[in-house]
């Protein structure tokens, strides 16, 4: 994969800030990759970056135009197309996590061939991954596992990476989803990998490393989510984590997209995930709890976190709201 950095962030005609959440992720987590933003008339999103033309961005060093906005209706409209074609002609690669693949657009594919530029569709694996061999690798690995999908596992890993680097620790966020790949420029689009190669793709993503280096692997799905649990288990067995972080969003009333399914307790998640992780790495431990408290006011959030710490005997924080310090302390103490 490896998308050339830095980026010009294409916000298109985003109707609101939420539609540009990929761009926001890059802005939040890899500001050094974001030299500027490109907006079309009517765009309602703003990353607080300089607005640049394609020529200006090239002059400022940008190498890839990243589509940082979701498209409506799954179609790449003509007003986007014009910019994308011009970007290829100006020497940019294009990167996208859209369901509609860049490579399937005949005009983009033709111009990319003619100009020698690359189209990075991060929804599609670009590597022939091996079948996992389960051999123990050097270096250390952390994985966040959730009571459900979309409870903040990616943000937990990114918050921890930032905190660990600030402390001079050696840590690398390893992306396993489209947004994470666009943020960091590299990774495995695990949900699009063929079943037999899932665990192997994660071994490939987190190879041997220095003894004190931490790979912070982006979690996916949940062992308790019947639609995606197999993906989660492949992450656990391919990742061989030394440490797990339990992740929850405590106000959710049922599993995401599964109205008939209630959420497991943190205790049930701990017991199941740890038993599974110890198959691949008998030394694995649970290091802490990450709670997504976005739906709670600050006082309720702090009360909830204190109760979780008391109940679980583990450090608990909302790493995005209150910092990842407690979780990193726990890793440092291992």
Report the interface residues with a copy of itself, using CB under 8 A.
131-136, 190-196, 198-200, 223-224, 226-234, 237-238, 255, 257-258, 260-261, 264, 272, 275-276, 279-280
Nearer to a copy of itself, 267 or 298 (CB): 267
Q: Smallest distance from the beta carbon of 98 to a copy of itself, in angstroms? A: 16
- Half-sphere exposure for 245 (CA within 13 Å, toward CB): 37
Angle between helical axes of 106-115 and 78-90 (0-180°, round to 10): 10
Cα distances (angstroms) measured from residue 283 to each of 153, 237, 274, 275, 286: 22, 13, 10, 11, 10
Distance of alpha carbon 213 from alpha carbon 89, whole angstroms: 40
For the bound state, the minimum distance from the C-beta of residue 316 to a copy of itself, rounded and expressed in Å, comes to 24
**What minimum distance in Å lies between the beta carbon of 75 and a copy of itself?**
19
User: Quick one: which H or E segment has residue 22?
Assistant: helix 21-29
Report how far Cα 281 is from the mean position of its chain's Cα atoms: 24
* Cα separation, 161 vs 313, whole angstroms: 23
* Residue closer to a copy of itself, measured from CB, 4 or 125: 125
> CB-wise, 70 or 258, nearer to a copy of itself?
258
Rounded least distance, CB 14 to a copy of itself, Å:
26
Query: 84 — alpha (psi -120 to 50), left (phi > 0) or beta?
Result: alpha
Which residue, 45 or 273, is less far from a copy of itself as judged by CB? 273
Please give the DSSP secondary-structure letter assigned to residue 69. Answer: S
Structure token digits, residue 260: 């008939």
Q: Which is nearer to a copy of itself, 280 or 285 (CB)?
A: 280
Min separation Cβ 208 and a copy of itself, Å:
16
Query: 4 or 134: whose CB is closer to a copy of itself?
Result: 134
CB of 105 to a copy of itself, least distance (A): 21
């Amino acid at each position: 994969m490896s998308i050339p950095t830095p980026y010009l962030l294409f916000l298109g005609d985003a109707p609101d800030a939420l539609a540009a959440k990929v761009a926001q992720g890059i802005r939040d987590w890899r500001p050094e990759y974001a030299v500027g933003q490109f907006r079309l008339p009517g765009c309602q999103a703003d990353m607080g970056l300089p607005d640049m033309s394609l020529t200006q961005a090239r002059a400022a060093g940008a190498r890839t135009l990243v589509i940082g906005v979701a498209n409506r209706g799954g179609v790449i409209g003509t007003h986007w197309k014009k910019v994308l074609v011009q970007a290829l002609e100006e020497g940019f690669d294009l990167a996208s996590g859209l369901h509609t693949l860049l490579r399937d657009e005949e005009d983009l594919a033709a111009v990319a061939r003619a100009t020698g530029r690359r189209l990075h569709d991060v929804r599609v694996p670009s590597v022939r991954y091996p079948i996992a061999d389960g051999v123990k690798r050097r270096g250390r690995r952390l994985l966040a596992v959730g009571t459900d999908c979309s409870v903040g596992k990616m943000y937990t890993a990114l918050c921890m990476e930032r905190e660990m680097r600030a402390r001079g620790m050696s840590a690398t966020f390893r992306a396993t989803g489209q947004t994470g790949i666009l943020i960091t420029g590299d990774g495995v689009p695990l949900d699009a990998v063929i079943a037999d190669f899932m665990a192997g793709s994660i071994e490939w993503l987190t190879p041997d490393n220095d003894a004190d280096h931490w790979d912070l692997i982006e979690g996916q799905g949940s062992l308790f989510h019947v639609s995606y649990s197999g993906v989660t288990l492949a992450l656990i067995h391919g990742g061989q984590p030394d440490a797990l972080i339990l992740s929850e969003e405590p106000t959710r009333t049922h599993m995401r997209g599964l109205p008939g399914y209630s959420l497991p307790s943190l205790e049930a998640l701990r017991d199941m995930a740890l038993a599974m992780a110890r198959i691949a790495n008998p030394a694995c431990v649970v290091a802490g709890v990450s709670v997504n408290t976005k739906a709670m006011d600050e006082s309720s959030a702090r009360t909830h976190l204190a109760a979780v710490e008391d109940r679980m005997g583990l450090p608990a924080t909302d790493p995005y709201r209150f910092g990842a310090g407690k979780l990193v302390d726990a890793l440092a103490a291992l």
